[in-house]
Chains A and B, each alone.
Chain A
Amino acid sequence: MLATKKLSSSLLYILVIAILLIQIYPVVWLMLSSFKSSIELTTQPFAMPSSWSFENYASVFRESSLLLYIKNTAIVTFACLALIIFLSATAGFALVKMINRLNSKLLLFFTIGIMIPIQVTLIPLFIMYKDYGLLNSYPALILPQVGFALPLSILIFTSFYRYVPGELLEAAVIDGCNIYQVFFRIVSPLTINTTITVASINFIFIWNDFVFSNTFTNDKAYKTIAVGLQEFIGAFGATDWGQTFAAISISIIPIIVTYLFLNKYVMAGVSDGAVKG
């Protein structure tokens, strides 16, 4: 019994690690590629770099204001995440845990938002932002991201709020909590994990967004990373992949650090939730 358990457990680890290798490969490939010369990169894309040259990195810092773009992207991303979480957690709570006959209709109404192909809304959006006087500013980058992220985030919150037992809310109400206290003191702490899930999902989309930032801003002061990568495209579509990959590698480092940091936090949240639940 013990032996089979041990065997299946080591098989599990072998599988987990094998998949791990596949999953981390793109980042490894990206980083290796960022050290290669242009010819090596395109003719031997999967070999180890023949020499470790920092030339690509040097020219990224020489020719582009990557750090500024990283800063802009970070500002936009965090402002978006804060708004998204706050708005979708509150709305999701009301839609699932409060009683109102409009709830199911409203939820469907929000759901439509996840079906919109954004490319075609660009022109009406642009006209609207122009009228609001919002072009070329952080809000021009933040508002559409938040608006388009809300439907999905609300859906996720509503799905997870269902795990919060109704008796818990009732008990809190009997103890004299008002509705805001129920939300902030009882429900929110229990769904910290959901919050982080919503944040991780939106994080990727916002961090990598190109369409909105390219359309709604044209000032270098507001350029984001995805738009900044355009600087490595040359005449007639000749892309300098070495520099592009070096720039992406640099921009990925803060993400990985944030995730590893958040990861610790998620684990803390999980065990708390378990104790509580």
Chain B
Amino acid sequence: MNVLKDKKAWLIFILPALIFYLGTVFVPIIQSLKYSFQQWNGIQEPAYIGFDNYIAMFKDSYFWNSVQNNLVYVVIVVFMQVFIGLFFALMLSYVTKGAGIFRTLYYLPAVVVTVAIAQMFRNFYSLQPLGLLNMFLDWVGLSHLQSAWLSNPHTALIAVSIPEGWRFIGMYMVIFYAALIAIPKEIEEAATIDGVSGWQLIRYIKLPSIMHVLSLSLIMCTTGALRGFDIPYIIGVPGSATELVTTYMYKQAFSTIQYGYGSSIAVFIVIESLLAVLLIRAIFNSRKGDA
């Protein structure tokens, strides 16, 4: 297949995207990497300080607290977006009438701007004025469980993770749905003729067919959650209870004007994400080996 090996055509296909990517993403990243070895407040001349920022980072208990919080956040967000998203997509793949409308409407939370979602959840969790969640607890007779979910340090982290997980379920559903309907009909038909049905059809035919989309979604979702920012930043409790790595990085870079330190946290995030991606890939590749 010489046509597919055509180097000139390959370059024509790749180069525009590559140039764009290098120009707008990669150059600034390299610059950030440089800042991470400097002490810089954004005003005075930056001073090269070697690995001092990284050493400070490893000794910073607020930083480790944010890493810990972030892991909890990743687990909740990934569970909601990937697993519930997959569930929605499978469910809708059985719906014959109006699937399109349902799919569009399921997607709605994703199109609402973050400030609105954040404010809605602030009210939803609130105890005074009484929010929906506490109203509901009262209504089912569990009023002793009522709490200010967002400010209570024991529940705050979970409370900020849920909105972020929930709002993009629809997005993952769309991806899974697209993958499910891309499975060639013959495969499914052949399986049905062989007597495979119901759960087994999903388990042995559908899921394996969308394996690489699943791994893609996991990568997307995990790296996204490792960089989680918006909702925790807006409705999180002031202080450390809901601090994530990115919100901490942002505060270090712009509030406490230690731009160099902020950059070294950014580098940490990239390395952490890279490890996660390699791990997810390894898991999926070994699965492939088993089969």
Contacts and interface: CB of A to CB of B under 8 A. Distances in A.
Physical interaction between A and B: yes
Interface of A: 12-13, 15-16, 19-20, 23-24, 26-27, 29-30, 42-46, 83, 86-88, 90-91, 93-95, 97-100, 106, 110-117, 119-121, 123-125, 127-128, 143-144, 146-148, 150-152, 154-156, 159-160, 162-163, 169-170, 173, 177-180, 182-183, 193-194, 196-197, 200-201, 203-204, 207-208, 210, 225-226, 229, 241, 244-245, 248, 251-252, 255-256, 259-260, 263-264, 266-267, 270, 273-274, 277
B32 A120 contact: yes
B31 A207 contact: no
A7 to B, nearest CB: 14
Given A43-B129, A173-B3, A115 B226 contact: yes
B29 A204 contact: no
Given A87-B20, A116-B29, 19 more contacts: A16-B92, A26-B109, A26-B117, A30-B112, A45-B129, A90-B12, A113-B25, A116-B25, A120-B32, A124-B35, A125-B24, A159-B212, A169-B4, A194-B178, A226-B113, A245-B116, A248-B113, A259-B104, A263-B100
Interface in B237-280: 246, 249-250, 253-254, 259, 262-263, 265-266, 269-270, 273-274, 277
Contact of A144 (B24, B26, B35, B88): B24
Interface of B: 1, 3-7, 9-10, 12-14, 16-18, 20-21, 23-29, 31-32, 35, 42, 88, 91-92, 94-95, 100-117, 119-120, 123, 126, 129, 131-132, 135, 167, 170-171, 174-175, 178-179, 181-185, 212-213, 216, 219-220, 223-224, 226-227, 229, 246, 249-250, 253-254, 259, 262-263, 265-266, 269-270, 273-274, 277
Contacts of B120: 26, 29-30, 45
A128 B22 CA distance: 12
A253 to B, nearest CB: 11
> Interface on chain B toward A: helix, strand, loop, or mixed SS?
helix
A100 B116 contact: no
A48 to B, nearest CB: 13
Contact of A244 (B27, B115, B178): B115
11 contacts: A16-B92, A16-B95, A46-B123, A94-B9, A98-B4, A115-B270, A116-B227, A125-B24, A200-B107, A244-B116, A264-B100
Given A45-B123, A123-B259, A260 B104 contact: yes
Given A156-B216, A204-B111, A241-B119, A100 B7 contact: yes
Contacts of B179: 159-160, 163
A123 B105 contact: no
Given A160-B178, A173-B3, A100 B249 contact: no
Contacts of A267: 100
Contacts of A266: 100
A27 B111 CA distance: 9
A196 B175 CA distance: 10
A179 B7 CA distance: 11
Given A12-B91, A98-B13, A244-B116, A201 B174 contact: yes
Nearest to A83: B20
B20 A147 contact: yes
Given A94-B14, A147-B20, A225-B113, A197 B175 contact: yes
